Amino acid sequence: MIYSQDINIIVFVYFCIACILLVSMSNNKWILVVEDDVFIDKAYRAKFAHENIPAEYASDGDTALKILQERSDDTPAVVLLDLMLPRKNGFEVLEEMKKNSKLKNVPVIILSNLGQESDVKKGMALGANEYLVKAETKINTIIEKAREYLK
């Protein structure tokens, strides 16, 4: 026989489980990786999956902005942004992000093979948090950087 106090306990347990699920879903941090090179993209996908880092991927600037706008209420912990992209380049993506009130505070790490001082200065002036040259940066360093922003 089930008594009313048993039902109260069962309802309370279900309520607690629902609360835990809601909290865990709202703390679901993720990163956006914007990279058009197929081989580098595959390496990022494999490494982030292996490290259990939730990520979304875009291969051009327009797609990156579309993802950011569609998920503007759930912005990424960080955007890893290449500069040499089709459609809109990384500088244009960064500029549009910083003009958008919902996206302007999203951290951006530029990952590019454009290592000229003028490119670095431009990226930082547009609001990037960090600028890494891909050819000089190991993928494990990129993972460590992503984890810092996911904390």
User: Cα(121)–Cα(138) distance, rounded to whole angstroms?
Assistant: 22
- Structural domain contains residue 59: yes
- State how far the alpha carbon of 28 is from the alpha carbons of 3, 66, 119, in Å: 38, 20, 33
Structural domain total, the chain:
1
- Structural domain contains residue 21: no
> Could you tell me the two tokens for 70?
């569609």
- Structural domain contains residue 89: yes
Mean predicted lDDT score pLDDT of the chain: 88
- Structural domain contains residue 62: yes
Please state, for a pLDDT cut of 70, what percent of the chain lies above it. 82
User: Cα(59)–Cα(57) distance, rounded to whole angstroms?
Assistant: 7
> Could you tell me the two tokens for 12?
């309370």
- Structural domain contains residue 22: no
64-85: pLDDT as tens digits:
999 999 998 999 999 999 999 9
User: Cα(65)–Cα(88) distance, rounded to whole angstroms?
Assistant: 9
User: Cα(74)–Cα(140) distance, rounded to whole angstroms?
Assistant: 26
Q: Give the per-residue pLDDT at 28.
A: 81
* Cβ atoms within 10 Å of 20's Cβ, excluding its own: 10
The CATH number given to whatever domain includes residue 113 is: 3.40.50.2300
Average pLDDT over residues 7-16: 49
- Structural domain contains residue 3: no
- Rounded to two decimals, what is the model's pTM? 0.81
Average pLDDT over residues 128-134: 98
- Angular region, 52: left φ>0, alpha ψ -120 to 50, beta rest: left
Which domain, by its residues, includes 145?
A: 28-150
- Structural domain contains residue 119: yes
106-130: pLDDT as tens digits:
999 999 999 999 999 999 999 999 9
